[in-house]
Amino acid sequence: MKRISKIAVFSALIAFTSFSCESNSDSPDSGTPSTGTGKTKYIITATTGAVGIADYLLTADDITTGSITTAGNGLEQDGSYRYYITNQNKFFSLLYGQGNPGAVTSYALSEEGKLVKTSNFQAETVHVFAAVNKDILTIKVPRSGAASIASMYKIDTEKSLIVGEAQQDTKKLAGNGERAFFTWATQVGEKVFMPYMSIKGDGVDNFGTANPDSTWVAVYNYPELKLEKVIKDNRTSYLGAYFTNGLIQDENGDAYGFSGAIATSNAVLTSTKPSAVVKIKKGTTEFDQSYFFNVQEKSGGYKIASSTYISKGKVLLLMYGNPGKNSGAVKLAIADVYNQTFTWVTNVPATLTSATSRYNIVTEDGNSAVLGINTPDGNWIYTINGTTAVATRGMKVEGGQITAIAKLKY
């Protein structure tokens, strides 16, 4: 669920000197969080694919060169699926409990730059998690059966405690005989925008829909999480995808939504509208009808799989590899949402087994995206320049496929 090695409509998309591997064999509980030295440490997560084993957490000072390995190195996470988010200079690891409650473990960096476990508590298995102010907002969304109430939880990142909860009836929210399934949540100004897909949830074709050509964004106030309105459009399909963010806010306060136009019914692609980008102007809760970026047309027929915002309107797009379909080995591109231009990334391997999608970072200068690329010949961290669309290969990761990249200060 974390990678795009088998791209399908509801697979969770999951992201100087020579470096010598450092050991994190010491207990993660040793040490205390740093009070601030101004240095950066990168966290690379990698999975060996072993049953019951989640990612290893590896740390490095430099990811532009050298190599690192999971062999005898790093902190092993428990459980089969782990998901990650950073906020307030903490790294949170969430266990996907397959419907059962899962552990939430938080880490910080000590003054020596080592990962320090700062908390560990149980929480509901969730499908959405996003940084909102100093909190992490998580959402558990039912997909079938009689249950239709989505539960929203606010986690205080300083206390590592759940400090608030709200609920939403997803059938009532959809209002069309189906149910709303939130794809993600994004803070836009002082509100939280939650794009959702309309799904049958009938136990037979849970994620299928009779409404493939519509877009919805539910707007909630914060911190009360009270529904204010639903923003609607019909020029493309739903934004994002299962476990995949499809809405970003730029430096100007405008929001841009990314649709793969990959809605299905009984596993057959039924979207008739193009994969595209739509816009919500700062301070408004309506789609800008004067703006429509037809990415499918500009790319020669390809559809958006996921997006990572860089800066100044530049976005790294992961595209499905088969034109017009929600399948095929991933391809990388840079889109400029201001000028509505599309450029394929160059200097990348010919065949990508998978690439990190939700767990990528931006360089300190704000001009490039950093992601993990896994290939049949090895796994590397790449930097993609948002202006030139040229990829530069950096650190090699051995002993496991890259699933996420993050960074913290210490």
**Could you read off the pLDDT of 301-359 as tens digits, one per residue?**
999 999 999 999 999 999 999 999 999 989 999 999 999 999 999 999 999 999 998 78
- Read off the pLDDT of each residue in 112-138 and give the average, rounded to a whole number: 92
H-helix or E-strand containing 87?
Answer: strand 82-87
Question: Across residues 12-24, what is the average pLDDT?
Answer: 31
pLDDT mean over 74-100: 85
**pLDDT number for residue 14:** 35
Rounded to whole angstroms, the Cα distance separating 360 from 173 reads: 31
* Token representation of residue 114: 């080592």
Stretch 171-183: mean pLDDT, rounded?
97
Look-up: residue for tokens 């990678």?
3
Please check the confidence at residue 16 and state whether its pLDDT lies above 90.
no
Q: What angle do CA 406, 64, 106 make, to 5 degrees?
A: 15
Computed over every residue of the chain, the mean pLDDT equals 89
Per-residue pLDDT reduced to its tens digit, 371-400? 999 999 999 999 999 999 999 999 999 999
pLDDT band at 366 (very low <50, low <70, confident <90, very high): very high
Q: pLDDT tens digits for 133-169?
A: 999 999 999 998 888 999 999 999 999 889 999 999 9
pLDDT of residue 103: 81
- Residues 265-290 have pLDDT tens digits of 999 999 999 999 999 999 999 999 99
In the chain, what percentage of residues exceed pLDDT 90? 77
Distance (Å, rounded) from C-alpha 296 to C-alpha 80? 35
CB-based contacts of 114: which residues, under 8 Å, 6+ apart? 24, 26, 30, 31, 59
Round to whole Å and give the CA distance between 179 and 198: 6
Give dist(CA 200, CA 143) in Å, integer: 8
* pTM for the whole structure: 0.89
The confidence score (pLDDT) of residue 10 equals 33
Residue range 122-409 forms a domain whose CATH class is: mainly beta
Among positive and negative, which fits the CA dihedral 294, 297, 298, 299?
A: positive
Give the residue among 373, 359, 150, 401 at the shortest CA–CA distance from 243. Answer: 359
Residue 76: predicted pLDDT: 87
Rounded Cα distance between 18 and 256, Å, is: 39
Check residue 98 and give its pLDDT: 64
Task: Locate 48 and state its tokens.
Answer: 């060996």
Tokens 């959402």 belong to residue:
139
Greater pLDDT, 4 or 31: 31
pLDDT band per the 50, 70, 90 thresholds, residue 34: low
Q: Is the pLDDT of residue 54 over 80?
A: no
The DSSP line for 214-249 is -EEEEEE-TTT--EEEEEEE-SS--SBBTTB--EEE
Q: How confident is the model at residue 40 (pLDDT cuts 50, 70, 90)?
A: very high
pLDDT tens sequence across 226-258? 999 999 999 999 999 999 999 999 999 999 999
- pLDDT over 90 at 48, yes or no: no
Of the candidate ranges 16-30, 73-87, 206-220, 383-397, the one whose mean pLDDT is the lowest: 16-30
